[in-house]
């Protein structure tokens, strides 16, 4: 059943239940202040390997819920979340983990926030790289502001706290651009892999719809007809469904977003929400 989505409250994967309140006391009240420390809480697997971290640490990138991520962080270093951590004391994760932690902390402060799955165009010229970011609602400008917590405080962009149009495309935005022949889908995919092309855009479009419904999956989670889509076996009917998905996400009507998520090919199974 369709429902209005409250982005200011925690979802099942962004709840901070069970997290020591002392660790959260120093979390800022303003959105950018909330997100800024997150870049020092997560370390990418490639960087973690360079530190020769124990093999069992790499299981951390399989953690979905934000409260479990934070509990793991506090086990490594009990300091408040705003305290800078040495790289070996950060949780091993991907861009998705930066985005989910930011979203969880924003919602903890009562700020409407969402995780978005799509492609960043600012890492490699001429390429859209698989990426996850966070966005929060700003009453003053009456718009969703996109922030990339992973690169806050770095020099990748001069404005990672407010991404410009086209710098990040959600899965649905990339799909619409592909269907209009505005982008070369072969330039969109996962860095360091052979996973490029329309299939990757299809997958990220479905994951973005789930994130808009407050279900922030892992980047490699698959469900519905997604595996067949990656293998090029879904056909025109699935692409028509993705056309509808992209249009609904672009219109950003929470009731319609919720209703479409009820489709059996799009809804995340319970086994992936834990």
For residue 223, is it within any domain? Answer: yes
For residue 173, is it within any domain? Answer: yes
- What pLDDT score does 5 carry? 96
For residue 12, is it within any domain? Answer: no
- What pLDDT score does 3 carry? 66
Least confident stretch, 1-5, 43-47, 83-87, 210-214: 1-5
Report the alpha-carbon distance of residue 264 to residue 248 in Å, rounded: 16
Q: Residue 194 contacts by C-beta under 8 Å, 6 or more apart in sequence?
A: none
Print the domain residue range for 164: 21-272
* Domains: count for the chain: 1
- What pLDDT score does 63 carry? 98
Residue among 188, 202, 197, 208 at smallest CA distance from 248: 208
For residue 114, is it within any domain? Answer: yes
pLDDT tens per residue across span 17-65: 999 999 999 999 999 999 999 999 999 999 999 999 999 999 999 999 9
For residue 15, is it within any domain? Answer: no
For residue 179, is it within any domain? Answer: yes
Report the alpha-carbon distance of residue 227 to residue 137 in Å, rounded: 33
As given in the structure block, the two tokens for residue 190 are: 């996962």
As given in the structure block, the two tokens for residue 80 are: 């408040």
Q: Answer for the pair 133, 99: CB distance below 8 angstroms, yes or no.
A: yes
Band (pLDDT 50/70/90 cuts) for residue 4 is confident
Report the alpha-carbon distance of residue 80 to residue 51 in Å, rounded: 23
- What pLDDT score does 161 carry? 98
pLDDT at residue 187 is higher than 80: yes
pLDDT tens per residue across span 241-262: 999 999 999 999 999 999 999 9
């Amino acid at each position: 059943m369709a429902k209005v989505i409250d982005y200011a409250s925690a979802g099942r994967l962004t709840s901070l239940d069970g997290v020591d309140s002392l660790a959260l006391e120093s979390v800022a009240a303003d959105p950018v202040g909330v997100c800024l420390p997150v870049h020092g809480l997560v370390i990418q697997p490639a960087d973690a390997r360079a530190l020769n971290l124990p093999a069992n640490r790499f299981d951390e990138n399989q953690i979905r819920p934000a409260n479990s991520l934070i509990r793991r962080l506090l086990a490594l270093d009990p300091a408040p979340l705003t305290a800078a951590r040495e790289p070996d004391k950060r949780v091993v994760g991907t861009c998705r983990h930066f985005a989910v932690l930011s979203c969880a902390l924003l919602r903890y402060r009562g700020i409407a926030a969402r995780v978005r799955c799509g492609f960043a165009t600012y890492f490699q010229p001429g390429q859209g790289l698989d990426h996850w970011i966070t966005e929060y609602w700003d009453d003053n400008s009456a718009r969703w502001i996109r922030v990339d917590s992973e690169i806050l405080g770095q020099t990748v962009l001069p404005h990672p706290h407010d991404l410009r149009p086209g710098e990040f495309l959600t899965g649905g935005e990339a799909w619409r651009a592909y269907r209009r022949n505005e982008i070369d889908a072969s330039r969109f995919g996962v860095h360091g892999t052979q996973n490029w092309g329309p299939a990757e855009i299809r997958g990220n479009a479905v994951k973005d719809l789930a994130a808009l419904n407050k279900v922030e999956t892992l980047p490699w989670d698959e469900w519905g007809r997604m595996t067949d889509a990656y293998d090029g076996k879904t056909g025109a009917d699935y692409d028509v469904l993705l056309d509808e998905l992209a249009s609904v996400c672009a219109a950003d009507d929470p009731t319609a977003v919720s209703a479409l998520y009820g489709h059996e090919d799009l809804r995340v199974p319970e086994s992936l929400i834990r």
